[in-house]
Amino acid sequence: MIKLIILFQFIPWCLFAQNTLLNDYYSSPLAISLSLSGTFCEIRNNHFHAGIDLRTQGKEGFPVLAAANGFVSRIKVSSVGYGKALYITHPNGTVTVYGHLRAFADNIQHCVEEMQHTQQKFEVELFPDSNQFIVLKGEQIALSGNSGGSEAPHLHFEIRERYSEEPINPLLSGLMVYDTVFPVITHIAFYTNHSGSYERNRIERVKAINDSVYAVDDTVRLWNTNNKFYISFAAYDKAMALDSNAVGIYSATLINGFDTLFNYQYNRFNFSDTRYVNAHIDYEAKITEGIKLERCFSLPGDSFPAFKNSGSGIITFNEIAIANLKLVVQDFKRQSSTLLLELAKDSLIKKVKLIPKVTLVFNKEHILKSKNAALRIAKGNLYTTIDKEELMEWKGRNLYSPIVKVFNKTIPLHKGAEFAIRAIKIPVVLQSKALIATINDQNKITGSVGGVYKNGWIKTSIRSFGNYAVTVDTTPPTIFHNQVAFDSICNCNVVSFKIKDDLSGIENYKGFFDNEWALMEYDKKSDCLLYYFNNKITGPHQITIEATDAKGNTGYFKSCF
């Protein structure tokens, strides 16, 4: 009866959308002390983190609890991303998300397995009716795990606005997390701007004065023809002093004297904007030096909402050619660290001859062609104006095209760019197996960006610049038995298989137990297929697996036990 009443609670609240969340509306999704292993909007590869990651003591199997009354509105099982995930819709106009789960509550698990057997595949997505799985605040809905793209056991937790699906920082809800350490600032970098292109002058490592104050060794002297400068910084946070896990910051403020030049907080964003992370960071520094520098200014093509009204970030000097800067970095507990920095305009007048360059303007479409390649960069696909480079070609070995260099891998792309390479003397029987491969500096194949053969060209979409060439994939995936073990969480035995493909990637697979379709879980990050079976099963039995890659090559495995 209580659960039925919840349905009616949705009516007066469904039009309510909020920028800040109600304290005490949500309870903890775990019945253990909360500690962060990942923060909201933390900088990840090609995206901002959409929730918070909660530690589970390095183990799987902790009860996961509904954070508020509601109903299960979506269930997804995937070998990547959030893995096994639950979505609960709440009367206040929000949805909570629980990712990287090990297993669902029994009633939900039964429904999921029915769908998996009906569709004969592991990866499924369900959208239950609002009255099918009604849950109460604090009710167990799943077990924590390490599924999908997770690198270690933890719970990924999100709060989204229901209709816009925009993620909101879950810590705005008042969830109590353990954090006793000030953020740590490690680097500062300086930039100038010429003709719309931002150029980094240098990166300085900063030193700690105490736990929350940082500085550089001396006054930093800068020179530029227009006397305007910009900075970026690298910083991280920790929950405890001896914690080896670094997480992202919550906010940053750049001050020059009494003027705030740039300020932002990570409170919410839209998933369509998440790739702007590559505009916010110094992408080149990340690729070449492994340092995540966050800009205290916005590139002209950066439309991430948190930075729209943050300020210009332009640093100018006072009448005595000095700028006294203060960079304040905070975690969500409002624990602040400050970098004190004195900049001075270099008094030596430098004669700089600015050589006119042909550029690609960030907010225009660009089409580039060479003898054997073509590239189309759509409007809005660049974050800033870049120097134009022709598509370069040179001969490779055992390839069906020249190697084509497309700009530099240190320049980020926001969306996919249309790309094609002419296939040279590729046999008809291999045309369906052709693809565009990524090539490293030693002219070796390192991966695939796919592609389809049409009229002598292989066409695909690339998300990053670099070196590419045409090759073929005729090698089927390999499958071999790994091990048999007892799983204490599900109280059954599990047999694992390694399933790998050397180029185009696993497209689909099927497993059979005694010639009947068997539910096998695919963990892409470890290249493993897992089959759980009852302890009472006795032999002899036969397991058969088929795995097909993206170019239609199929590998087979058969074993009896």
CATH (domain of 521): 2.60.40.10
The pLDDT mean for the chain works out to 91
Residue 471 has pLDDT above 80, yes or no: yes
- Say whether pLDDT at 195 is over 80: no
423 has pLDDT over 80: yes
Same domain assignment for residues 191 and 314: yes
Residue 195 lies in a domain: yes
Mean pLDDT of the 394-412 span: 96
* Domain membership flag for residue 353: no
pLDDT > 80? residue 96: yes
Residue 262 host element (H or E): strand 259-265
Per-residue model confidence (pLDDT) at position 193:
87
Most confident range, picked from 153-157, 477-481, 526-530: 153-157
Q: What is the mean pLDDT of residues 46-63?
A: 97
Burial class (CB in 10 A: 0-12, 13-18, 19+), 247: buried
366 versus 196: the higher-pLDDT residue is 366
Residues 341 and 436 in one domain: no
Judge whether 233 lies within some domain. yes
The pLDDT assigned to 163 comes to 95
pLDDT band, residue 12 (cuts 50/70/90): very low
Q: What is the pLDDT of residue 490?
A: 62
Are residues 428 and 528 located together in one domain of the fold? no
178 belongs to a structural domain? no
Do both 131 and 228 map to the same domain?
A: no
Same domain, yes or no: 544 and 483: yes
b/e sequence 172-192, b meaning 16+ C-beta within 10 Å: bbebebebebbbbbbbbbbbb
More confident residue, 437 or 492: 437
**Residue 319: predicted pLDDT:** 67
What CATH number does residue 395 fall under? 2.60.220.30
The residue behind tokens 């900049």 is 343
Q: Are residues 249 and 223 part of one domain?
A: yes
Q: Say what the pLDDT of residue 94 is.
A: 97
- Which of 223-227, 260-264, 352-356 has the highest mean predicted lDDT (pLDDT)? 260-264
Q: Kindly indicate the confidence band of residue 317, based on its pLDDT and cuts at 50, 70 and 90.
A: confident
Structure tokens at 409: 């891998």
CB atoms near residue 445 (< 10 Å): 16
Instruction: Mean pLDDT check: name the lowest of 156-165, 240-249, 361-370.
Output: 240-249
In a domain, 191, yes or no: yes
Q: Would you call 127 exposed, middle or buried from its count of C-beta atoms within 10 A (0-12, 13-18, 19+)?
A: exposed
Domain range for 166 is 2-173
pTM as predicted: 0.92
Q: What is the pLDDT of residue 17?
A: 43
Spell out the residues 6+ positions from residue 22 whose beta carbon is closer than 8 angstroms to its own: 92, 173
3-class SS at 463? Answer: strand
Structural domain total, the chain: 4
Query: Do residues 367 and 438 share a domain?
Result: yes
* Residue 82 and residue 219 in one domain: no
- Asked if the structure places residue 253 within a domain, the reply is yes
User: Is the domain of 14 the same as that of 151?
Assistant: yes
pLDDT digits (tens, 9 = 90+) for 227-246: 789 999 999 999 887 788 89
- Mark whether 508 and 547 lie in a shared domain: yes
- Say what percent of the chain tops pLDDT 90: 78
Establish if 537 belongs to a structural domain. Answer: yes
Q: Which two tokens stand for residue 239?
A: 């929950």
Task: Select from 151, 173, 195 the last residue of a domain.
Answer: 173
Query: Highest mean pLDDT range out of 1-15, 105-119, 529-543?
Result: 105-119
- 222 shares its domain with 329: yes
Residue 179 within a domain? no
Mean pLDDT across 117-124? 97
| Boundary residue ending a domain (154, 173, 192) | 173
Query: Which of 131, 152, 173 lies at the terminal end of a domain, its last residue?
Result: 173
Same domain, 337 and 222: yes
